[in-house]
Structure 1
Amino acid sequence: MLLTFQAASWTTIAPALLANLAAGIFILPFFLFSATAGQLADKYDKARLTRLVKVLEVAIMLVALAGFVLHSLAVLLGALFLLGCHSTLFGPVKYALLPQHLHEDELVGGNALVEAGTFVAILLGTLAGGMLAAVEHGERWIAAAGLVVAIAGYLTSRGVPSAPAPEPGLAVNPNPLTETWRNIGFARENQPVFLAILGISWFWLYGALFLAQFPAYAKSVLGGNEGTVTLLLATFTVGIGIGSLLCEKLSGGHIEIGLVPFGSIGLTIFGLDLALASPAGLPVGAPLAVAEVLGQPGTLRVLFALLMLGVFGGLFIVPLYAMMQSRSAAAHRARVIAANNIMNALFMVAGALAAGSLLGAGLSIPALFGVAAVMNAAVAVYIYRLVPEFLLRFIVWMLIHTVYRLRARGLEHIPEDGPAVLVCNHVSFVDALVISAACRRPIRFVMDHRIFRWPVLSFVFRHSGAIPIAPAREDAAMMEAAFAEVSRALAAGELVGLFPEGRITFDGEISPFRPGITRILEANPVPVIPMALRGMWGSMFSRKDGPALSRPLRRGLFSRIELVAGPALPPERVCLPGLQLQVAQLRGDWK
């Protein structure tokens, strides 16, 4: 804000270009030193590193204080670079520390608090900075306040619990280039993790591009002053905080990557809306006070678009961070996170350069926002084509949060790892999707080949690894292939889902179980988890009163359903009548 509203006393460079230059300088250390930071976080106790990083922060703020006292732009940009180094060192530490102290069902909540806390801290710092800048010798007060915050950070860091190094014998490679390539290699070993990193990196490019333009946008488009910048930042920040915390609630206690496409849709829609809502010309009487800016036509729409950008940004970013942490190997998790920081930096530096070039070529700031929103849609389509799991989970999540209200009980009986067969009553065409939405682990469902080919649903079933099966009288080869695939899945430690009735009920009652489950257990003696769906009979996907979908939404939206699971049964104790009785008892009288 100082460079935007008091540029003449610091430099002759145009404020809009200087803001992007400053953003690039802050981001550059992530690209240069993240590889080293990842090695250090895997080699040493993360609590100890946290405290050392906070000591470094105190020293950097002394440099910033000197820059403000000397009125030296070079020293301040140097301090900004050093703060980038500080954040580079701290990033792998804080994100790799979370999985060491949190269970998997707490990771989304932990990341939500980290993201919400980060942006709320940015907001509070900006508000405090704006107020201090208004007093005499405000720059010195700002630097002194930063020093106090750094000292408070160190004192807080002493309470961080020990997080022992996963690889204390690691030999640190001092060459950042070769180690950077090696870290990216760790990330590329797992395609979903690497694509999550690409998604996170794009988000930071997208978000940093918007944030960097706020001062110039407030001054040159809205006709406001420093207070308008704070208003824009506050709106965006509150949105990210709301979206991050909302993500935990919508995830239902587990990592729900189905929220990622939902977030990307909102980022595109409201990015375009912000571009379209921006005023065409500078208001008369600029610069205006905040109250006057709020009174201008279209300002409230701009603020709403910014708020929703933040909300959908939180929904987009939190599941990706949790997915990256949970699916990366513990021995080099910090280096995978370092690879993420490298990619983040590369994307953000490229974004800053591209934004600076487009603005220098005469593109307006609102038009820049519109271009970024269109690019966001293109990137989202690219990622979801490469990993259909994101889109698959989005479809499942939308089903469970629009058509139904799902309550799940007893899912702790499903093993965290290793093979098992899940058996359930078959009430509707979307039973497999409902069960998939409730369970944290992927499930390979065995299903009738006709249901497998249903339009739209076939995409979901195919990419979720469902196994189509046909009766022997229809296609004996398909039946044998299905049983062979079930054996391969169980041998690989996967979960297999089965509807032993062999067909969807016509009357809501449970039909006799067929012997397919017996054949599976003879070849693969694994635990069996009985389950029951309750409340699905009568939904539009069931056959009550005629074919499915003959009466869409006949029970309205958000109808209540339940999934109940019972204790695992050892394979030697499974018999068809007894298994059917257990499923019937779990279902009870509620069809």
Structure 2
Amino acid sequence: MEDPVSQFSLLGKRRFAPFFWTQALGAFNDNAFRNAMVMLVAFQMSLGDKMVSLYTNLAPALFILPFFLFSATAGQLAEKYEKTRIIRYVKIFEIVAMTIAAIGFFTHHVSLLLVVLFLMGVHSTVFGPIKYAILPQALDRSELVGGNGLVETGTQLAMLIGMIVGNSLMLIAGYGPLAASATTILIAIAGYTVSRSIPVAPATAPDLRFNWNPFTETVRVLGITRADRAVFNAVLGISWFWFFGTVMIAQLPNYTLHNLGGDGSVNTLVLTLFSLGTGVGSLLCERLSGRRVEIGLVPMGAFGLTVFAVDLYFARSGLAPVSGLDWHGFLRAPGTWRIALDLTMIGVFAGFYVVPLFAFVQSRTPSDRLSRVIAGNNIVNALLICIASSFGIGMSHFGFSIPQIFLATGLINIVVAVYIFTLVPEFPMRFITWVLVNTLYRVRVDGLRNIPEEGAALLVCNHVSFMDPLILMASVRRPVRFVMYYKIFNIPILRFVFRTAKAIPIAGRKEDPALMDEAFERVDEALANGELVCIFPEGGITRDGAIAPFRPGVDRILARRPVPVVPLALRGMWGSIFSRRDSALRRMRVPRRFWSRIELVGGALVPAEQANAAMLETRVGELRGDQA
């Protein structure tokens, strides 16, 4: 692939590493404090069951409340002011909150600890819009998926380690409050120290008029979030991920005890499998997507979530045959490896599902609105988390077992996914494209950085098979409008892909002059709107592997709309599946070059005034060379 640098190299770059560690330390502290507080209230204060239940159910509500109250305000802050300065203020706020928590730990003052929990909710609320809005400023577009994958992995692991550490520290006999207090304060100080190395992230909307009314601003932010239907449905998809995860994780303690027959170490193992799975899935997104924002992974993620959630039900639908198992005994018990695999793979496919959605929102939203859209996303997330809690409680109240709750959640996931994908057909379109291209070919790309990140440009490429548009669609990071022969446009199944991608069908003047003129009008309209348009100037698929003379259509386009041109060339396609090297009968057999190794190369940008059909034909021929 082009620029095959590992996403892990970002951890050595100042523009990413300090921010990564700052957010990871914050996620650690959130969970370390919350779990230390739960352990103190549940096991060390001799409270009755009703009081313990009250506090443990009140805690999540207090943490999530600031997301409803202050997300809209946080989104404004992140756009109006320089982000690094806000991050440092947030980390100082965290140090103060952890200092107050230390007082609560030592005095066993539960009300004070609940106040701190609310304050940590405020901390996360303010940091949230910055967390995802700063990445497009710090990273290249090609690094967005890898950067989001690292952030998601770091967050999951930090949360897991925070849970374990918070529980363990508070259980230290005689020194629990001291150990928990010292650790959380030191981590908060470390977070502030690291945050001072984050490079400046300038305000994206410095002239924004600040609205201090959180209620009217919330309505306004939700309106901004809904403005782009594709982005809003990605937000709904992210929020559904939080619903799904909240339902699953909330059941794990009782599921571990009653259905797995395990002790606390098994509960830790289960959380570890889920978190590691999510981390692995998040990191794999970059490799599977070819370092582009590939929303085709989202349907695959949704499908995997359902498959393994449903299988988790069938793996053990009743109570555990034995109880009191530690993690080692659990792994040795019959049938438990299937359960462990299901839990891990739910995490893996959760990563496939959520990382491309975040990258999609970041790449499709203008920078001067991104923080507020992320704030809107956080509001919807908080709402879905509350609904998820009510869903789990309601299902339990009506007598459903935990495996049945897993089964219901997995099945509902399919309904929600189909709904979202029906509203935004781009998701299944990208999935079909990704599957077809990655099944039939091994594609190496080079020189695609010559394609402008913004603004209109014309792409010209040689034409070897009707799969060519799909290969370019799967490789070019920006959406592309393809001009293609109407008979290829109307191929069954692929028609859905081409229509969704807003391809432009064209016919020869002798076949359908009206369609031809309409195609040129639509090309000009797309270029006027700043879009990428790709044409195959040969006018048809090659029959002998050679590049046919470029037709004058490219000159007609540039004469009306002078835009820069990027020459592209497909190498190694001749003789691959669906090329015309073999007869139609032989193409119906298992092809000789299934999963062919092919290349897509791009040349230097050609200014409009220098571009013409003959010159572009020469350039494309030079790029292709003798690798037909």
1:324 aligns with 2:365: no
1:481 aligns with 2:554: no
Question: Counterpart of 1:472 in 2: which secondary structure?
Answer: coil
Question: Counterpart of 2:578 in 1: which secondary structure?
Answer: coil
Pick one of 188, 195, 215 that aligns with 1:150: 188
| Contact 2:83/2:200, CA 8 A, preserved across alignment | yes
More divergent stretch after superposition (31-40 vs 135-144): 135-144
1:196 aligns with 2:237: no
Distance 1:261 1:552 in 2: 30
Pick one of 253, 256, 259 that aligns with 1:218: 256
Tell me the residue number matched to 2:295. 257
Shift, 1:15, TM fit: 8.4
Tell me the residue number matched to 1:519. 556
Matched residue type, 1:227:
S
Tell me the residue number matched to 1:115. 152
Matched residue type, 2:301:
G
| Contact 2:45/2:108, CA 8 A, preserved across alignment | no
1:135 aligns with 2:172: yes
Shift, 1:512, TM fit: 2.6
Shift, 1:158, TM fit: 2.1
Tell me the residue number matched to 2:137. 100
Tell me the residue number matched to 1:165. 203
Shift, 1:178, TM fit: 0.8
Tell me the residue number matched to 1:241. 279
| Contact 2:317/2:404, CA 8 A, preserved across alignment | no
Matched residue type, 1:251:
S
Pick one of 82, 85, 89 that aligns with 1:48: 85
Question: Counterpart of 1:473 in 2: which secondary structure?
Answer: coil
Pick one of 456, 459, 466 that aligns with 1:419: 456
Instruction: Summarize the Cα distance change of 1:398–1:174 in structure 2 as closer, same or farther, 3 Å threshold.
Output: same
Question: Counterpart of 1:38 in 2: which secondary structure?
Answer: helix
Question: Counterpart of 2:202 in 1: which secondary structure?
Answer: coil
Matched residue type, 2:295:
I
| Contact 2:577/2:594, CA 8 A, preserved across alignment | no
Instruction: Summarize the Cα distance change of 1:144–1:8 in structure 2 as closer, same or farther, 3 Å threshold.
Output: closer
Pick one of 311, 314, 339 that aligns with 1:276: 314
Question: Counterpart of 1:474 in 2: which secondary structure?
Answer: coil
Instruction: Summarize the Cα distance change of 1:354–1:479 in structure 2 as closer, same or farther, 3 Å threshold.
Output: same
| Contact 1:539/1:553, CA 8 A, preserved across alignment | no
| Contact 1:24/1:352, CA 8 A, preserved across alignment | no
Distance 1:17 1:560 in 2: 61
Question: Counterpart of 2:525 in 1: which secondary structure?
Answer: helix
| Contact 2:575/2:593, CA 8 A, preserved across alignment | no
Tell me the residue number matched to 1:442. 479
Shift, 1:155, TM fit: 2.0
Instruction: Summarize the Cα distance change of 1:549–1:63 in structure 2 as closer, same or farther, 3 Å threshold.
Output: farther
Tell me the residue number matched to 2:346. 309
Q: CA-to-partner distance for each residue in 1:31-89, whole Å, 9 max, x for gaps? A: 22211211222233222221221222223223433444444554444433322221111
Instruction: Summarize the Cα distance change of 1:406–1:217 in structure 2 as closer, same or farther, 3 Å threshold.
Output: same
Tell me the residue number matched to 2:25. none
Pick one of 483, 493, 497 that aligns with 2:530: 493
| Contact 2:318/2:403, CA 8 A, preserved across alignment | no
Tell me the residue number matched to 1:300. 337
| Contact 2:295/2:427, CA 8 A, preserved across alignment | yes
1:568 aligns with 2:592: no
Pick one of 398, 401, 414 that aligns with 2:438: 401
| Contact 1:64/1:76, CA 8 A, preserved across alignment | yes
Shift, 1:462, TM fit: 0.7
- TM-score, normalised to structure 2, is 0.88
- TM-score, normalised to structure 1, is 0.94
| Contact 1:38/1:334, CA 8 A, preserved across alignment | yes
Shift, 1:528, TM fit: 2.6
| Structure 1 segments unaligned to the other structure (5+ residues) | none
Tell me the residue number matched to 2:466. 429
Distance 1:182 1:568 in 2: 41
Question: Counterpart of 2:399 in 1: which secondary structure?
Answer: coil
Distance 1:456 1:549 in 2: 22
Distance 2:342 2:351 in 1: 14
Tell me the residue number matched to 2:212. 174
More divergent stretch after superposition (156-165 vs 86-95): 156-165
Instruction: Summarize the Cα distance change of 1:529–1:306 in structure 2 as closer, same or farther, 3 Å threshold.
Output: same
| Structure 2 segments unaligned to the other structure (5+ residues) | 1-34
Distance 1:492 1:549 in 2: 44
Matched residue type, 1:211:
I
Distance 1:65 1:78 in 2: 12
Matched residue type, 1:326:
S
More divergent stretch after superposition (184-193 vs 20-29): 20-29
Question: Counterpart of 1:488 in 2: which secondary structure?
Answer: helix
Distance 1:174 1:316 in 2: 35
Shift, 1:27, TM fit: 2.1
